[in-house]
Amino acid sequence: MLLKMTVGLSGPEFNLAPGDEHEFEDVEAERLVDAGFAVKAETEEVPVASPARKKGKANVVSTEGNAGAE
């Protein structure tokens, strides 16, 4: 279960600050929520922006006639 920490928490495998989100096993997540250490994180679908297209010719280097390239 994905939780958002309300307080700092660290252990042998993580070091979390308030506001950090971390995936916990369900039993551990419920314990942390009940203790007031975390709240369930809101999972929002964030749209992924498509990469911008480059305009102009590609910057291609030819090895023909170039003695330095092997």
Phi-psi region of 19 (alpha: psi -120 to 50; beta: other; left: phi over 0): left
For residues 1 and 29, what is the distance between their CA atoms, to the nearest angstrom?
A: 6
Q: Per-residue pLDDT tens for 24-44?
A: 999 999 999 999 999 999 876
Token pair for residue 11? 């252990």
Which of 12, 14, 11, 30 lies closest to 3, judged by CA?
30
Which CA distances in Å does 52 have to 40, 45, 46, 48, 55?
35, 21, 18, 12, 9
In this prediction, residues 63-70 reach a mean pLDDT of 60
Q: How much is the pLDDT for 33?
A: 95
